[in-house]
Chain A
Amino acid sequence: QSVLTQPPSASGTPGQRVTISCSGSSSNIGSNTVNWYQQLPGTAPKLLIYSNNQRPSGVPDRFSGSKSGTSASLAISGLQSEDEADYYCAAWDDSLNGLYVFGTGTKVTVL
């Protein structure tokens, strides 16, 4: 059901930089802004990045987002053990009557 494609997994050692990609199409990422959500084990998703690269209050500046064309990426610099979680990209899609689409999700493991 996911319209946006992400790698299933990513990993790094503490302090490393990890990047997660999110690939979409002209009707979603190509036309609208991208959001990123973090889901820690057993908890509800939490907004991490909105409008491509904006961090909500309280989100560390280790997390950054970018978008180019029909793709987006999330970078985690200075990886920490508490960053081990699932990450989802999302965007509004202008097709049909308009819908919100999520990515396939990426599991980040801190080695």
Chain B
Amino acid sequence: QITLKESGPTLVKPTQTLTLTCTFSGFSLSTSGVGVGWIRQPPGKALEWLALIYWNDDKRYSPSLKSRLTITKDTSKNQVVLTMTNMDPVDTATYYCAHRSYSSGSTWFDPWGQGTLVTVSS
């Protein structure tokens, strides 16, 4: 059974850097094809994909946020870390991590963590 759980601060100040950790179980990020992604959802708004890291350390970022995002993995700890610099109130959202599933070149996210609400306010 695959599970993921996000952790990090619930409140950050504008201009600060956000660091979120995704701790997972039930799979290994050293297994070929495996990946972990981050997705966020502002209150009352749609889902927005942020980043994806693959088993081979290849990384993909949302073009609109690429300059502010860094995704890393610690295979030994079964963790993926997302950092986002220069936080702004518009970054207030629930942040989810999710397991990347795939087949024949297709990618989807399943399952997802429960999410963590991050509020940006002074």
Give chain A's interface residues, CB within 8 Å of chain B.
1-2, 32-33, 35, 37, 39, 44-47, 50-51, 56, 88, 90, 92, 96-105
Contacts and interface: CB of A to CB of B under 8 A. Distances in A.
5 contacts: A44-B115, A47-B101, A50-B108, A56-B110, A90-B108
A105 B41 CA distance: 11
Nearest to B104: A51
Interface residues of B, number: 27
B25 interface: no
B49 A104 contact: no
Given A44-B96, A50-B106, A101 B49 contact: yes
Contacts of A50: 101, 103, 106, 108, 110
A37 B48 CA distance: 13
A67 to B, nearest CB: 12
Q: Is the interface of B mostly helix, strand, loop or mixed?
A: strand
Contacts, number: 75
Given A1-B48, A2-B46, A100 B107 contact: yes
Going nearest first, the 3 A-B pairs with the smallest beta carbon separation are A47-B110, A100-B49, A35-B108
A45 B48 CA distance: 12
Given A2-B46, A102-B49, A104-B46, A33 B106 contact: yes
Select the residue from B47, B63, B109, B115 with max chain A CB neighbours within 10 A: B47
Contacts of A99: 49, 60-63
Contacts of B61: 97, 99
Contacts of B46: 1-2, 88, 102-105
Contact of B47 (A32, A51, A56, A88): A88
Nearest to A4: B46
Contacts of A90: 47, 49, 108-109
Contacts of A46: 110-112
Nearest to B49: A100
